[in-house]
């Protein structure tokens, strides 16, 4: 296998104790997307949005990578070919498991972004409406998270990798949010094999050539072993 492109979602971090978005009792059952995950929500009530991401930042820092994150790091270091990791997750559990060059297409909790001048810096554990941009000094610091209505990061790079992929795998994602949910169709068109590893069939399951259902800590290490 020369090139494998892997897309991960909230399901891979679920067994590390981080809640998913759309499972029963998930984040979007407890918070309104419009309030905490849109630029308009941030403009209306920055403190509410900071409070939401501050809590998630602390939670993510306390979480530990699980056997699925570790298996993917092992695949990256032991594979003969190239293994590209694209994640929708804003936690850093892939990096802490030892993965390299992770593409965070929806941003990262570790990042801060100035809504005025686009400067980026490392986010402190807690931010609020008085947090100041170190470059332009505006009171417009926000989490460097891609919100609904915003363009995901590194899309050109991701499509470049999908075009070259021999195998595309989606792990722990419900297939509800585009453009990531469309990667399986793109990869198929570009000639790659496809596999879904998820707790249950996703919204896009019919687009995958192969499936493996179960907990990520079971299915991902087994899949990695089959590849190495
Ligand atoms: N192992 C494997 N899969 C799991 C596990 C587990 N232990 N627990 C849950 N899952 C699966 C669920 O069955 C579900 O299909 O993970 C998926 C999580 O789906 P979502 O909560 O919708 O998360 P995700 O697909 O990553 O969301 C995409 O939506 O709002 C946003 O920007 C946010 O990046 C996020 C995007």
Domain with residue 193: its CATH number is: 3.40.50.1220
Q: Quick: pLDDT tens for 121-133.
A: 999 999 999 999 9
pLDDT at 1 over 80: no
Q: Do 88 and 192 have their domain in common?
A: yes
Ligand 1 nearest-atom number relative to CA 21: 21
Residue 131 CB–ligand 1 contact under 6 Å: no
Domain with residue 54: its CATH number is: 3.30.1600.10
Contacts of 166 (CB under 8 A, 6+ apart): 1, 2, 3, 4, 81, 192, 193
Across the chain, mean pLDDT equals 96
Q: Do 126 and 222 have their domain in common?
A: no
The CA-CA-CA angle for residues 177, 181, 185, to 5°, reads 155
- Confidence category of residue 25, pLDDT binned at 50, 70, 90: confident
Q: Do 122 and 195 have their domain in common?
A: no
Q: Do 75 and 156 have their domain in common?
A: yes
Number of independent structural domains in the chain: 2
- Asked if 67 and 60 touch (Cβ cutoff 8 Å), the reply is no
Q: Do 75 and 129 have their domain in common?
A: no
Residue 215 CB–ligand 1 contact under 6 Å: yes
Q: Do 35 and 1 have their domain in common?
A: no
Strand partners, 103: 86
C-alpha distances (whole Å) from 130 to each of 51, 94, 121, 141 are: 13, 31, 16, 8
| Three-class secondary structure of residue 83 per DSSP | strand
Question: Which residues are identified as catalytic?
Answer: 106
| Three-class secondary structure of residue 208 per DSSP | coil
Domain-terminating residue out of 145, 173, 193: 145
Distance 51 CA to ligand 1 centre (A): 22
Q: Do 8 and 91 have their domain in common?
A: yes
Ligand 1 nearest-atom number relative to CA 15: 7
Q: Which of 7, 173, 211, 218 to mutate to test the pocket of ligand 1 (most atoms within 8 A of CB)?
A: 173
pTM of the model: 0.97
Distance CA 19, CA 11 (A): 8
Q: Quick: pLDDT tens for 153-166.
A: 999 999 999 999 99
- Confidence category of residue 29, pLDDT binned at 50, 70, 90: confident
Distance 10 CA to ligand 1 centre (A): 4
Ligand 1 nearest-atom number relative to CA 200: 13
Residue 14 CB–ligand 1 contact under 6 Å: yes
Residue 202 CB–ligand 1 contact under 6 Å: yes
DSSP designation for 28: H
Q: Do 156 and 116 have their domain in common?
A: no
Q: Quick: pLDDT tens for 63-96.
A: 999 999 999 999 999 999 999 999 999 999 999 9
Q: Do 128 and 221 have their domain in common?
A: no
pLDDT of residue 129: 92
| Domain housing 199 | 1-15+65-106+152-228
- Asked if 8 and 75 touch (Cβ cutoff 8 Å), the reply is no
Q: Do 48 and 112 have their domain in common?
A: yes
Q: How many residues does the chain have?
A: 228
Over residues 205-223, the mean pLDDT reads: 98
């Amino acid at each position: 296998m020369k090139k494998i492109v892997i897309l991960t979602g909230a399901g891979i971090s679920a067994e590390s104790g981080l809640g998913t978005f759309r499972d029963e009792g998930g984040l979007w059952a407890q918070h309104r997307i419009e309030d905490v995950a849109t630029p308009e929500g941030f403009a209306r009530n920055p403190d509410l949005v900071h409070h939401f991401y501050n809590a998630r930042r602390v939670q993510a820092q306390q979480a530990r990578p699980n056997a699925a994150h570790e298996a993917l790091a092992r695949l990256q270091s032991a594979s003969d070919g190239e293994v590209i990791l694209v994640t929708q997750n804003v936690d850093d559990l892939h990096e802490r498991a030892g993965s390299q060059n992770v593409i965070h297409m929806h941003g990262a909790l570790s990042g801060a972004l100035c809504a005025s001048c686009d400067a980026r810096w490392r986010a402190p554990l807690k931010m609020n409406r008085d947090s100041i941009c170190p470059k332009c000094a505006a009171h417009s610091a926000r989490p460097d998270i891609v919100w609904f209505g915003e363009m995901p990061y590194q899309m050109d790079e991701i499509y470049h990798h999908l075009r070259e992929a021999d195998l595309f795998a989606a792990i722990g994602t419900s297939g509800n949010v585009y453009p990531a949910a469309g990667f399986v169709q793109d990869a198929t068109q570009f000639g790659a094999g496809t596999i879904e590893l998820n707790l249950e069939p996703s919204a896009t399951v019919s687009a995958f050539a192969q499936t493996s259902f179960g907990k990520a800590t079971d299915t991902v290490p087994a899949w990695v072993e089959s590849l190495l």
